[in-house]
Each structure stands twice: as structure tokens, then as C-alpha cells.
Structure 1
Amino acid sequence: MKPLGSIQETINSDAIIPITLLTTDEVFGDLEGLLQLLDDYDDVFTPDFGSVLVEKPGRGNGSAVDSLEDPSARQVYHLDVIVELSDDFAELPSGPYFLHGPNLHQAWRLYDDDVGAFAFGVIPDDANQPDDSLSLQGNSKSIAVPSRLYHPRPSLRKPLSGIRVSISDFTSLNGTGTALSSRAWASLYTTVSTTTSDYARKLIDLGAIIVGKTKTSQLGTGAEWVDEQAPWSVRGDGYQMLLGSSVGAAAGLAAYEWLQQSIGSDDNGISAQQGLYSIAPSLGSTSFDGIMKNPSYDKKRLFSRSLDDLLHMTTSFGIISPESHFPTTILYPVDLHAAMDESQQHLMAEFVSALEKLIGSKAENVNLGDIWAESRPIEAHGEEMQTYMKDISIATIFRESHSSRQHLNFFDATPNTEAIMILPCGTSDTRHRDDPTTPPTTSEGVTPEYLASILGAPHLAVPFAQLPYESRISERTEYQPVCVSIMGSRGSEVEMIRVVKQAFEKAHWRTQVTTGRYAFPLDKDSQAVNNEHRLLMLQSESLSDEL
């Protein structure tokens, strides 16, 4: 990175010294208390940074050296020249830096990517131009993160200020390459991108810190890991197979406390595997410029470890429609829930009950096939819904095709902006990465996984419980997250998240998950166990811990 300033004193030009930059007022105050506060708050700052101070001009007067109780304990330098800063900084923020000779540089911490979630980490070439990046590549990857002290608190103009975010390898970022987990692709497209996608630019403009690009399955296919090793799961026994194009985004967020948000592609199944909250906004609500996905079918998916963070990300992006309403109707499509086992059905009933208690009305059981039969389009020629739409997962990629438009006309004929639909999310099966890969299959007809994508509707995935299973890997009882998904009308993203959050708070259920082995902590004081079905519903003693 380019230097941010220099000190007045002359020192060895080859020296690299960790220092703490403080105002004169801060040095005159409770210095020891301040340094301890920085150490507690910031994961980049360590006590070694407090051994040498650099004083920057402040409102106080006098000599900082004379004010120190023990001047010999610390070396104090004085800031002389400051480079022209961006509009985000009225002055250099107090915090940890490095002196390289007399020049001042930001301090970034390197975290090992133990689960192999990242294609590579990125750092800005210039702290004042964060969209011009350098990629950190190699067989042993480290992800660099800046000090939390460099960025002001979130504001209306920059609501994501200082939030550490990862983006998918599909997304263009100036100064970085794209590999798509394919050696052939990487060898063919060797140049780095000279542009930043609209979505990444929006993240930066809102104040977010893009720390790296996460792995996708090979060329975005569901389960292909030929040239790259698949990311590891930290959940359960650590050997669970991860499927989908957003495996890196989800694996990293489930593993690393220092990562706060992840952006992937529309893949709600990985939310169930990793126990993460996520939402795929309505089709067309965000730009796909600079993203190697099909804008007619694919959607982005925002991953978070808490409903509060997911709500904040969604509202920060302006993904909200003035026509959206708080849900008053719960639809339960029985024909799309038929494949669930008894454990999932029991938990789904608990989830629906929590929503009913908040909304004040019972869920309506509906059968999409029966509704289709009552008002099927003329073009169906009397065929049942699943028969007519058996190739819909392929047809929707080509939305301009005749039959594709007909099914959209049917589903969009009478939109209900106050209704939400409860859908399954993932399965209760546990698959390990050493299990033989099953032959490729093609989904046919209307399925819970594809319905929201077919309609271009927002799709929310929510973990709310976990099921025990006996692992042949660890030879002990492990726990697998249980997830449910909700589909709403276009533009209802914010209201969907709010209704789930309020329902969970009313039921005293957790609204956030943890990193590591368990999505929810195994605390005997905060769980209710149904021994008949061996189900684990996790509840929190106090909502204050979740908010």
C-alpha cells in the first residue's frame, strides 16, 4: 500500500516498526486505559503496537513526551506530512500502523483460510481508492483484514462502514482475476479485471470492506470439484459434503468470526448445510453488470450469521418496495412438503406455529397442483402442473421462450403482497465428502428449490433448530442445522425478514448463529429437547444477547 504520511524524525529507512497513532489529547489522557480499550475492540491491534507512539496534532497543547509518566517506557515520534485523504477521513484515524522507515502505513492482520473457503484475499492498492485491488494468491492462502479503527461508525451515507465482506469469484473487482475453480479457465483468462461490478462498487460506496473472493464450484456447477479442493465444513464432524455455487461464501462465514457478511449466488441449500441466514432478493432488484451469471435466472444471495445483520444489509442496499406490506397470510403448499421426513415435519410445524402466533391467523394449506387444475392456462392443453412444467428448470434460463412466459403469467396473475409461502430448505440427510458422488440428475417440474427462481421472487432461508446424528467420522453425536425457507411477493424482502425476526423474538428463539461446530450452542439452560423425536429446539434466555 502507498504511505499515508511521514514522521518528522529521521530513522533507519529499512526499519519496520509497529506504532500507535494518537492525538495529543489522547496521549495526555488515560493512555494505558485507551491502549487497553483498543486491544479489546480491535483484532488487529496488539500490545506491541503500544510500545511506540506517533503523535498527530490535536486540540491539546504542550509536549506529549513531557506529559508521559514514564517517558523512557515509550518512544514518541511526531507526524509531519499527511497525504491527501479521501472524503471519508477528515484526518488519519487513531489506531495501529506500521512505520517503514519514516513512512506511515496501515496495519492489516493476516488470517489463515483454514477451511479453504477463499479463491484469494484482496487488499486495496491505495487506501483512498478501495476499488483498485491486489489479489493475495498462493497455495497457502491468507486473508488480510484492516483495523476496525480505520473506519467511522455506520451512518446514513455509509451504513456498511467497516463491515468485512466477501464476494463470489463470479464478481468482477478491479485488479483481481477470476478462476471459477477451473485451471482451464484460469489459464485462458490470465489478465486481471480492469472494472468493478456494479454490485461490488455499491458495497464499497456503502463503506464495506471487501476482503476476498470466495470459491465457487467448478464454473458454478453444483458438485464439480476437479481442479480445486472443495471448502471444508466446520459444522458437525467437519466432513460434510458442501454442494452448490456458494459453498465458499457459506463455509467462510460459518467458520470465521472476523468475517461479517458474505455475498454468493442464489443457492438456499447451502444455508441449510451451514446453518446461515440468507436471502436472495427479487430478480432484477440489483444489477448483474460485471457478474458471470445469467441475469434472467440467477440471483445474488446475502449470507449473515444473524437476522439483524441480514436486515441491515438488505435495507442498506435499498432492497425495499413501497408497495410491500407486513405479511398477514401464511401459505403452506402441502404438495411441496410431501418429501419431508417426520423430524422435519415436526420442526416445520413448530416454525409455522411461531409465525401464526405473531400474525394472529392460521396458516392456509394449499395445493399448487389443485390450484393449477382449477385455472390452468390454455397453453397447458389440460396437462397437470408438474407434467406441463417438467422442463421448467431449463426453460426458465431462456425466459423469452413461449412456455416460460406462460407459466409466469399464470403465477403473476393475482399477486398477493401480504402473503408469504413456507417452503422446505435442504434435507435431513447427512452426506460426507468421502461418499461416492451420485450421478448427475435434472430437477423436473416445480420444486421447493426452484419455485422462487422460476417466479423471480425473494427467497429467505432461516436456520432455527438442529438435529442430532451419529457420525461415523467422529464416532460421537453431532448436530446438523435445520432450515426453513420463505417466499414472498417481489419487493417484500425487508418485511419477510422482519416478520421472522419478530416471530422468533416472541417465541424466545435465537436470532443468530455461532461459528464453528454448532450453529446453536449446546447450553442445557437454553434448549428444549423433545425426547420422542430427538429434536433440539434452541431458545435463548434473554433477547438482549441476540440484539
Structure 2
Amino acid sequence: MATAAATILSIDQQQYLLYPTKVSLKSRLLKHLKANKSDQDLIAITAISWNKSIFTKDDLEDVCHKYENSDDVWARGFLSLVILLQPPKMKCTTSSRRIFSLDNSKAKLPAGPLIIEKATGHIFTVAKLQSDTNAAFVSSIMPTTKVKGGFTEYCRSEEVLIPVPSRLYFPENKKKPLNGVRVAVKDSIALKGLRTSFGSKAWLDTYPAELATAPCIQKLVDAGAVILGQVKTTEFAEGVDAAEWIHTVCPFNPRGDGQQEASSSSSGSAAATAAYEWLDVAVGTDTGGSIRHPAGINGCYGQRPTHGRVDLAGVLGATDLFNTVGIFARDVKTFSKVGGYLVDETSHVRVKPTERKFNLLYPTRAPQTQNPDPHHGGQHRWFPHPEVDQSTWTEAEKQIEQTVARMEKLFDCKRIPFNVNELWRATPVVGQPRSLDEAVGHIYSAVTTSSALHTGIDEFVAEYKRENGGREPPISDVVRARLEHGRSVSPEEIADALQAMQAFRGWTENTIFGSYDADSTTILIFPQTCGRPNYRDEVPDRSVLFNDTFSIYAFGYLVGCPDYTLPVAEVPYMSKVTGQTEYLPASISLIGRPGTDLELFDVVEQLHQHGALSDLKAGSRMFSQD
């Protein structure tokens, strides 16, 4: 039964939003509807593309099973009437009075769930309203004709409802390789007609709606992607924990007990991807790890592309020198297809490479370092030294080892253990410290905090004060402290940081990747997340504002390498919240030479085809428990 409340319908106890089409029925079907004595003015129907001359009850049941398996919007409540969309001059024989044929060359209707207004014959498509149970969204959107090529906000609140259109409306289309892919966009990326908050209510209140959609998003839309809404980012896309959010509630990581950190700054992108089966992809940004780490702890695939491969117009961030745009996904096919298209629109027709030699670089800790704290120093992102007894390894390390061993077998190669710090000392760069921490540890904090002020924050603060009687905008303590640090960074310090960056980039290209044949595929692999709990109510120690040590993430932001996060296992832990054993993701990262984005996707696909990677479920567990 369907009941109307403005443009909202309840069908089979689910809420649907109506979208008007340009189609009105003026045929015997409309006469039939008007003759029906039912008091319903809005009739839920199902349209079926049908090229045969007969349609039986068995055919209908087969179509229903197909729709149920392929679409999460269609329901049997749409079977009040069935319309067979047929080619011209074809007549279909059926014994049912509820089934009608229609010449689709004139009607141009999509297959799937539809609504007919009995009084007028107007036909509507529908979108199922989904709840944002994990507080990942800022706003949801709906198609619009008011803003050409833009979007209209449907809902903006702490309890967002997201209209999700039927997958049946988007059949395969060679001209639109991403047709129907459902996408959420980080709220630091411009969408025409919508306001961008950049993680700050004050920013949202200061600036008007965007006049243009960021080219990286428009590229996806032009390929058929369906934008569902904006997802949360931390304040100014800074690295902050859940307890430090002041403008809204931090998204909830769905994995484990549901009370773990969602990480930053693409928190909403990662949490939404991991939580909602009805979402295919979320777009995020990564300056210093804001896609890679959230993907790891929220248990989804994450892509940081080669720096410079994605247009950053319309994208907010601390500095374009490090920032880039990438995606999150749960299944490998979607991850490779959408991520590949983002960096290269011809990627969907790429030819698989011939047999190549593989070099698997395997960075290790010093032999005396065991079971490092994952919250300090980044040492958990190195593998155990080969001399360390495997009985002392963590559960995550043991699980990850199985994946590494499978990679060796699949690609017919042996891992190449090395210690990054020792290699730096053994192959010194002229004019740079012998300690890698001293050489590059300071670059990120100096460049990002200073650049953030000059590329938007200072202008925002001044504009906010003009509009609010001289009042300062609300900014969290940790972010304000970082910005104040940026004001103290001198031009000489910036010049030194940029020189050190170039030195490290050259060293990586020559010493790490340059040591191997350019025609071979060289991949640096490292443990991304280790499946240890990090509760969202824990307040971080900010007595030290920056951890100015070397980070393996630097291969991405200093060298520009593509870096993909791949969940590979679940690790049990005893939850202090539920009092039961729960499971958190363990993940790895693959780093390639700059420009090898599509090669990395090919590697990911091969790992998936041979069972080393799996498609992921939404919710508390990544893998099916059947």
C-alpha cells in the first residue's frame, strides 16, 4: 500500500522520495487506472523491458527475483501494476489484467520501480530514503533542474536521510562507464549549488553555495556516477581525534564494537563506505594519510593516486603540494574501475600487461624492536625483522604474513627485506642529515601549517570577523595551536623543507625504485593497520603538537607515489564496550613508482582473482560469516 505525504511515499514500510519525469500516460492504461475504484491516487508500479511476444507468471517471478538480487530499492510493493516496455509494433500476450504493454520508443521510461499519479497520468521515478545511522553525512542531495549541471540539497541535519535511486534506472552504457555508481563526496570538495563546510560550521555560515562542481567530481558525473551527498571531514581537514570535534559529531566507525576511531580527515568517506551497503564509493582527499589510514581502520579499500594525476580545482586542503583526491570502496571491481577512471578516463579499456618481473620491497624494523605501540612513532608500519621469532609476532602480523607469502607465490618473486633508516644512512644525500627523522621529519608540519594560512584560513578568519563584529571564529584548541605554529614558520624554514623534500624524492627515485629494472613492477608493501582498538572516547595527548619523525606515508606526500590501502584480515579483541570478542581490520598498503596507478590496480585485481583479497561487507565485520 502506498500513501502520499508531499513527495514522500510509504511502500512496504519503507520511505520513498518521488522524482518527476517528463512522461505522462495518455492511453488505455490511464483509462484503466481512472476506472479503478481504489482511493489511491499514487500507484506503485514496476516497469520491465521485454522483447518477447508472451509474458507469463513464471516470467514475472523470474524478473522479480532478478530485481530483488540486483537492486536494493525495488520491492514487491511496486507490483500493483506491471508495464512491459516493448519495441515498436510488438504486442505481448498475457493473461493478467494487471500487466500492460507500452511502446517504449514513445514513453522512454526506465525499467524498475515507478509511481503513476492516477489523476494526471504523470510518472515518477523513486529514491529510497536511507538513514545515516553512523553520522557520516553532512547533507544529502537530489537531482535538480534549478541549477544547471548542479545539485539541490535535500537534507542537512544531524540525522540525514539520503535519497538512493534504483540501480535498475542505470543499465550498462558504453558511453558512461560509471553509470549508476553511487558516490558520496567529502565536504571539502565543491559541488555546484551546495555549500561546503570544510568541517567547520563557521566556514559553512561564511561562504555561499558553490558556483561550479570540482572537475574531479564532474568527471565522475559525466561518466554516469550518481552523487548521493556530502560526507564529513575534520575541521579544515586537519588530523584530529573524535573527542576533539567541536562543530559536529565525528562519524562512527562501524567495525568491531562501533566505538572505534574513524580516523581523519576523510572520516565520513571511510565510515560511510564501511557502514552502508547502498553506497558504492566515497571520494576523499589525502594530504598526509587522510585516505590511507581511515581506509585501514574502517576496513575498506583506499586509493591515494600519484600526485598530480587528479585535478585539484575546487578542492580545499592545507596545501596542493601534498594533497590529492582518491576513493574508498568495498569491492575490488568497483575500486579498480572508479579509481582507475579518476586518474585515467581510458582505464576501463586498458589492456592487461604481459608477464613482468616483480620486485616486492619489504621494509622492516630493527631486530630489537618488537610489538611496537601503534599509536606512537609509526613503527607498527614496518614488518618484523626476519631474525625475530615469529612466535612473538602480533596476530595482525601473522595474518598479514599469509598475504605476503601469497604475493610471493602469485608473482613468482621473493620479498626484499630492508631497513629504510639504515638504507638512508648507508646512501647519504649530500647536505642532508644522516638521520632520516632529522632529514624529513619536519617537512610536513612546516609546509602544511604555513600553507593552510596563506591558501584560505587567514582569508576566512578575516571574513568571519567582518561579518561577526570582530569575533574570532570557533576553532578547536588543537587546530588553533597548529595554525599558530604555521605563523611562526619562517620563509627560510619553508625553503629548507622544500629542499629536503626534493632530496628525499630524488633519493627514493634513485635508491629505492631506481635500484630495479624500470620494465619490472616494483612495489613497496607495508602494514597499514594492525587491528588494535583505539576507542573514540579516548582523549589524545597533545603535549607534543607534532610527531616530527619520518613517516612511511612520506612516499605518498613527498615523492608523489600512488599508495593503496588493502584490508586483508580481521583481528579479534576483547571490547571494553560490549564485553565480547569483536574484530577489527588488519590492512596493508601497496606503494608504486609515481605514475604506476593502473599497474597497481592490475596487481590488486590479480590478488583478488587468486583469493588473496576479498570483497568486503558493510557493518561490524568485513567478511561474511556464512
**Which of 114, 130, 147 matches 1:111?**
130
**Counterpart residue type for residue 237 of structure 1:** D
- 1:32 equivalent to 2:60? Answer yes
**Which of 324, 329, 334 matches 1:309?**
334
Q: Give unmatched runs, 5+ long, in structure 1.
A: 84-90, 524-547
- 1:471 equivalent to 2:561? Answer no
**Which of 530, 549, 558 matches 1:454?**
558
**Which of 376, 379, 382 matches 2:428?**
376
Question: CA separation of 1:182/1:127 partners in 2, compared to 1, >3 Å: closer, same or farther?
Answer: closer
**Which of 224, 231, 238 matches 1:207?**
224
**Match of 1:408?**
505
**Match of 1:356?**
408
Question: CA separation of 1:184/1:36 partners in 2, compared to 1, >3 Å: closer, same or farther?
Answer: same
Give the deviation of 1:163 after TM superposition: 1.1
- 1:137 equivalent to 2:156? Answer yes
Q: CA RMSD in A?
A: 3.2
Question: CA separation of 1:27/1:212 partners in 2, compared to 1, >3 Å: closer, same or farther?
Answer: farther
Contact 1:324 1:492 in 2 (8 A): no
- 1:436 equivalent to 2:456? Answer no
**CA deviation vs aligned residue, 1:105-139 (integer Å, no higher than 9, x gap):** 21111111111111111111149976444342234
**Match of 1:541?**
none
Aligned residues: percent identity?
23
User: Which deviates the most, 283-292 or 298-307?
Assistant: 298-307
Contact 2:138 2:157 in 1 (8 A): no
Give the deviation of 1:261 after TM superposition: 1.4
Give the deviation of 1:479 after TM superposition: 0.9
The aligned runs of 1:86-125 (5 Å cut-off) are: 91-100=108-117, 101-125=120-144
**Match of 2:202?**
184
Question: CA separation of 1:510/1:332 partners in 2, compared to 1, >3 Å: closer, same or farther?
Answer: closer
- 1:220 equivalent to 2:220? Answer no
**Which of 282, 287, 293 matches 1:262?**
282
Report the secondary structure of 1:480's partner residue. Answer: strand
Give the deviation of 1:222 after TM superposition: 1.7
Report the secondary structure of 1:433's partner residue. Answer: coil
**Which of 310, 314, 318 matches 1:290?**
314
**Match of 1:535?**
none
Residues in 2 aligned to 1:123 and 1:184: alpha-carbon distance in whole angstroms: 25
User: Which deviates the most, 21-30 or 306-315?
Assistant: 21-30
Contact 2:400 2:568 in 1 (8 A): no
**Counterpart residue type for residue 50 of structure 1:** L
The aligned runs of 1:57-68 (5 Å cut-off) are: 58-61=87-90, 67-68=93-94
**Match of 2:474?**
none
Contact 1:4 1:82 in 2 (8 A): no
- 1:499 equivalent to 2:519? Answer no
**CA deviation vs aligned residue, 1:278-301 (integer Å, no higher than 9, x gap):** 121100011111111232111223
Contact 1:178 1:192 in 2 (8 A): yes
Give the deviation of 1:228 after TM superposition: 0.5
Report the secondary structure of 1:317's partner residue. Answer: helix
Q: Give unmatched runs, 5+ long, in structure 2.
A: 1-18, 370-378, 385-392, 452-493
Give the deviation of 1:485 after TM superposition: 1.0
Residues in 2 aligned to 1:388 and 1:109: alpha-carbon distance in whole angstroms: 53
Contact 1:279 1:303 in 2 (8 A): yes
**Match of 1:534?**
none
For this pair of structures, how many residues does the alignment match?
A: 507
Residues in 1 aligned to 2:304 and 2:268: alpha-carbon distance in whole angstroms: 17
> What is the TM-score of this pair, normalised by structure 2?
0.74
Residues in 2 aligned to 1:102 and 1:281: alpha-carbon distance in whole angstroms: 49
Residues in 1 aligned to 2:268 and 2:236: alpha-carbon distance in whole angstroms: 13
Give the deviation of 1:378 after TM superposition: 2.3
Question: CA separation of 1:448/1:424 partners in 2, compared to 1, >3 Å: closer, same or farther?
Answer: farther
- 1:174 equivalent to 2:174? Answer no
Give the deviation of 1:76 after TM superposition: 5.7
**Match of 2:436?**
385
**Which of 167, 192, 207 matches 1:148?**
167
Give the deviation of 1:23 after TM superposition: 6.1
**Counterpart residue type for residue 175 of structure 1:** G
Give the deviation of 1:229 after TM superposition: 0.7
Residues in 1 aligned to 2:145 and 2:551: alpha-carbon distance in whole angstroms: 47
- 1:511 equivalent to 2:614? Answer yes
**Counterpart residue type for residue 214 of structure 2:** S
Residues in 2 aligned to 1:304 and 1:23: alpha-carbon distance in whole angstroms: 30
**Counterpart residue type for residue 214 of structure 1:** V
Residues in 1 aligned to 2:426 and 2:353: alpha-carbon distance in whole angstroms: 28
**Counterpart residue type for residue 181 of structure 1:** G
Contact 1:135 1:175 in 2 (8 A): no
Residues in 1 aligned to 2:49 and 2:538: alpha-carbon distance in whole angstroms: 59
**CA deviation vs aligned residue, 1:160-189 (integer Å, no higher than 9, x gap):** 111111111111111211123322112112
**Counterpart residue type for residue 411 of structure 1:** T
Report the secondary structure of 2:426's partner residue. Answer: helix
Question: CA separation of 1:56/1:383 partners in 2, compared to 1, >3 Å: closer, same or farther?
Answer: closer
**Match of 1:543?**
none
**Match of 2:361?**
331
Contact 1:5 1:82 in 2 (8 A): no
**Counterpart residue type for residue 316 of structure 1:** Y
**CA deviation vs aligned residue, 1:206-234 (integer Å, no higher than 9, x gap):** 11111111111122122241111111122
**Which of 74, 77, 81 matches 1:45?**
74
